[in-house]
Structure 1
Amino acid sequence: MATIKDVAREAGVSIATTSRVINNAPHTSETAIIAVKAAMEKLGYRPNANARALVSKSSNAIGVLVSDVSAPFFGIMVKAIDTIASEQEKQLLVGSGYHDAEKERNAISLLINSRCESLVLHSKGMSDQELTKLAKEVPGMVLINRVVPDIASRCIALDNRKGAYIATEYLIKNGHKHIGYIASSHNIDDAHDRLAGYFDALRDYGIEGRDEYVEYGEPDELGGEQAMVNLMAKNTDITAVSTYNDYMAAGCLVLLQENGIRIPEEMSVIGFDDGHMARFVYPRLTTIRYPIQLMANEAVKLSLQLANNENVERSECKLFMPTLVRRSSVGRAQ
């Protein structure tokens, strides 16, 4: 692995100058800054982040990247990882990326520069190529809820497309033929896969997929509420709605009830994730279970094994399957 001496030699400057550039110290010439940064890129040098630093100078911490630390879904994920970390007498460092490549990159750099010995990343913004390169630098890096083909053995994911298929299929089996879909407006694989699963189920059961039955919004309660407003404004014949997640479903439920539409007698609604909210909205939400706790357990255990240079016999992604949770928000079509 490259050292600061190697970088200084490649850049043709002193170690002291190299150190000043790395630490953004003042009074450093532009020529030196350009030369040192070029050398760092060429040699793959990252301060405190190469494999040797992770092993021999570990902070005894596990780094975790989530989309939004305030979201309950990610709270469950972090709690599951923290449980394993506590058993291993390790600490957790958590960063938020908000599905934005630059924010994810900055958060990951902070975790790496804190010498985390393993990383569990929920990254949606960074490219496959960048994550593949990062995996080569950080032996203990594992991705959760994403599949990058070149590092598939380090990926823990859910079959989102299958989950949306199951949700839509359940509505169809309850006699519904005019089924709306409330989709996430975020440009991420989860959103694309779940929308595709909805259309897959319609096609397989001989039902025409209609674009006017689909509305997009932010993947939260307000987004779901507004999307349902838009669906109702179109005056369609829908008798059921499948949603991107439970938050959007909750917003949908509130809007329908405020407009005197009985659930499930006049409109059936199904969610996705099976978060805590699904049990406490009224009526209790039929949804698709996303086993994030099991997935997080698997991810952190794999990360620790890789960071410890243990032999892991796996060449493919670990793919978890979604399951249907029947509650009270879906009924037979009238």
Structure 2
Amino acid sequence: MNQPARITVVGGGSWATAIIKMLSEGNAHIRWWMRSKTDADHIKKYHHNPSYLSDVQISPRKVRVCTRIKDALRDSEYVILAVPAAFVSDALQGLQADSFTGKCVISAIKGMIPGDNCLVTDWMEQKFGVPARNLAVIAGPCHAEEVALEKQSYLTIAGQDIECAARVAELLSCRFVMASPIDDIYGVEYCSVMKNIIALACGITHGLGYGDNFQAVLVSNAMQEIRRFVDAIYPKHRDLSGSAYLGDLLVTAYSPFSRNRTFGSLIGRGYSIQAAQTEMKMIAEGYYAVKSIHAVNRKYGVVMPITDMVYNVLYEKASPVSEANALKGKLS
């Protein structure tokens, strides 16, 4: 029998909990780092996360919960980052490059590092010297809530080293999840970021009362916008109709489980940003991501009317009604 894979999961939210559930289906020993000592103690005693996906049972035989990040990373072969992008730096505070030596680091984060305006994988390479061959990303289409319900789900694992991606895909595959590897790490990661921005746009316009006809046109134009942007930054032959690209966009744009769509809908209905964030009680990655993408695009000058609309509403205090009206004439 093969030795269990030694895996560290960083993060205590719904996506981290769903990843724990997937990994626990296989042959793995898992260390689960979370910031909240209260939640960690609860899981140790009652074997479920009290704050997220509380119906998911956590196996004490396979999962060891800890609140010291250095302890969590000790002896692990794989490190899965599943905290919001804005909190990655805080979560890994105090670690040095040798903490990641020889480990495969996988980003399950659908955002960019605020301020640095860079992808999580790029940041890990620059900050901790993790070589590109040891980096991978997890993409959907896959909502944590459906994983918790064991509904059939699909993941794409992208990495420059296809063998690394394939090993991660094998770890995450189980009776209700099919995971497959591809080598387009930058295309997948940027699309994962962009789809959250598009979901915000879908939510804003839905909150304003726009119907399904408009939403379909918005999403189809969004796919073209994503293509222009990704091709400008990382030109590569890629089929954006694949599930890692279009599939992930569709589920985030339309699903009631999408926190970005929900956040956008609140803004469209007249909530302030602060009130929407309070109502959500969870992070909408697109809120931070649109600022980073807008900054990156200053260099490339890609025509991105949907992204610009979201940025103007969230950061320039523009009227959602006026921005949506202006956007209508730019879609076809």
TM more than 0.5: no
Q: Which has the higher contact order (CA 8 A, sep 6+)?
A: 1
**Superposition TM-score tier, normalisation by shorter sequence:** under 0.3
* Higher relative helix content: 2
- TM-score using structure 2 length: 0.27
Structure with larger Rg: 1
- TM-score using structure 1 length: 0.27
